[in-house]
Amino acid sequence: MRNKCGEADPRYQALIELLRTADTVWDASRVFFGRWDLSPSQFNVLNLLRLNPAGLSQTDLSRQLIMHRSNVTGLVDRLEQRGLVERKDVAADRRAYSVVLTDAGAALLRDILPRYYRGANELWAHVSAKRAAELVGDLRQVAQNAQGIAGPEMPGSAS
Q: What is the DSSP code string of 106-137?
A: HHHHHHHHHHHHHHHHHHTTTS-HHHHHHHHH
Burial 12-45 (b: 16+ CB within 10 A, else e): eeeeeeeeeeeeeeeeebeebbeeeebebbbbbb
Domain boundaries, the chain: 35-125
**CATH 3.40.50.620 fits domain 35-125:** no
pLDDT confidence band for 4 (50 / 70 / 90): low
The phi-psi region of residue 148 (left if phi > 0; otherwise alpha if psi is between -120 and 50; otherwise beta) is: alpha
With beta carbons less than 8 A apart as the criterion, state whether 72 and 62 touch.
yes
- Mean pLDDT, the chain, rounded, equals 90
Q: What is the pTM of this model?
A: 0.82
pLDDT of residue 1: 45
Residues in the chain: 159
Percent of the chain with pLDDT over 70: 92
